[in-house]
Amino acid sequence: MAEEELRTGRIPRFDSSSAKETRTYIETLTKPPGSLGRLEEIAIELAGITKKPFPVVDPPGILVFAADHGIAAEGVSAFPQEITGQMAQNFLRGGASINVLARQIGAAFQLIDIGMAQDIQDPMLISRKIKTGTANFLTNDAMTRQETIKAVHTGFDEATIFIKENGLNSLILGEMGIANTTASSAVIAALGNLAPESVTGQGTGLSPDQVLHKQNVIRQAFKTHTFSTDDPIDVLSKVGGLEIAGMTGAMLAAATQRTPILIDGFISSTAAVAAAKLEPAITDFMFVGHHSTEPGHRVANEWLNKEPILHLGMRLGEGSGASLAYPILQSACAIVHEMATFRDLENY
């Protein structure tokens, strides 16, 4: 059977004309030039992304992909694999951190099973399971290339539907999957030809000795695999995760619709790097919500040339940091829509 061709969609150009119009307008607002700092730059970026000099990001949506990882069998996480399914059920009950934050910012929320080991039957869950978790990449490829492409397409299709059905003007990507920081560390190290220890941290709360073990597992895995560093599908298929591939596709879908993308932590930024390797223009449509304490997150953000909006010492995932950053984007839009200009003062 012939391999399915990868679909990435058509990424539009950042609209410099709208961005310039917004920059010029901001200079007329009742404040000293540049006094709102980065908030002004965010408003200008949003104008270029949306092709609207007066951009809006309401309403937001949060799309969370859940999947399991075979590498968890190597003891690289402080929690057992069963936690993925338990947390998924917590998401569906509305009890997770991301549920609380979604309610706070008025975001639509959707959980997608793209590869959990456990089968959960719930009307609130979208089941698009590619397989019941990846293989243990210490000894095998995590996925076949075809499974990876299918996961990217699943993320693309689900994000397209989610954005259109909810009339979204911004998209936050989240994930859940025990051992996914190990997969993300492996992906970033492989794509950047980096030493695993430079991008591998404590994940769910490992001790220093456990972190060393996690780094060693990735080093040993790299002896098993050879990578095409310019081919993110190759890297994802060998050491990645289904939820990482799904988020990659979702980001591509958002960009095709000129929907601003709020990247979360390390796993989300790993997907962002994969998406940018596929379509470099996509970085113009991204904001990084926060700086995770995971060392690989700094490397990913440097590669994306993105400065995180918040620095809160977080490492939860789920889309939590990005959700906290969303009101900053909201405020950037508000200053353009609602602040008076100096000409307005003359007419009072």
Residue 152: its H or E element: helix 145-166
The CA distance from 182 to 204, in Å, is 10
Q: Which two tokens stand for residue 196?
A: 């695993």
Q: Which of 6, 8, 66, 59 is nearest to 253 (CA)?
A: 8
The CA distance from 171 to 61, in Å, is 5
Residue 251 near residue 275, CB atoms below 8 Å: yes
Residues across the chain: 348
Q: Which two tokens stand for residue 248?
A: 């990659």
Residue 286: its H or E element: strand 286-288
The pairing of beta strand 108-115 with beta strand 125-127: parallel
Residue 178 near residue 72, CB atoms below 8 Å: yes
Give every CB contact of residue 213 below 8 A, 6+ residues apart in sequence. 75, 76
**Element counts in the chain: helices (H) and strands (E):** 13, 6
The CA distance from 299 to 194, in Å, is 10
Residue 110 near residue 64, CB atoms below 8 Å: yes
- Burial degree of 239 (CB within 10 A; 0-12, 13-18, 19+): buried
Residue 187 near residue 278, CB atoms below 8 Å: no
Active site residue 318: yes
The pairing of beta strand 261-263 with beta strand 125-127: unpaired
- How many C-beta atoms surround the C-beta of residue 73 within 10 A? 13
The distance from CA 62 to its chain's CA centroid, rounded to whole angstroms, is 10
Which entry of 165, 318, 338, 346 is annotated as an active-site residue? Answer: 318
Residues labelled catalytic: 318
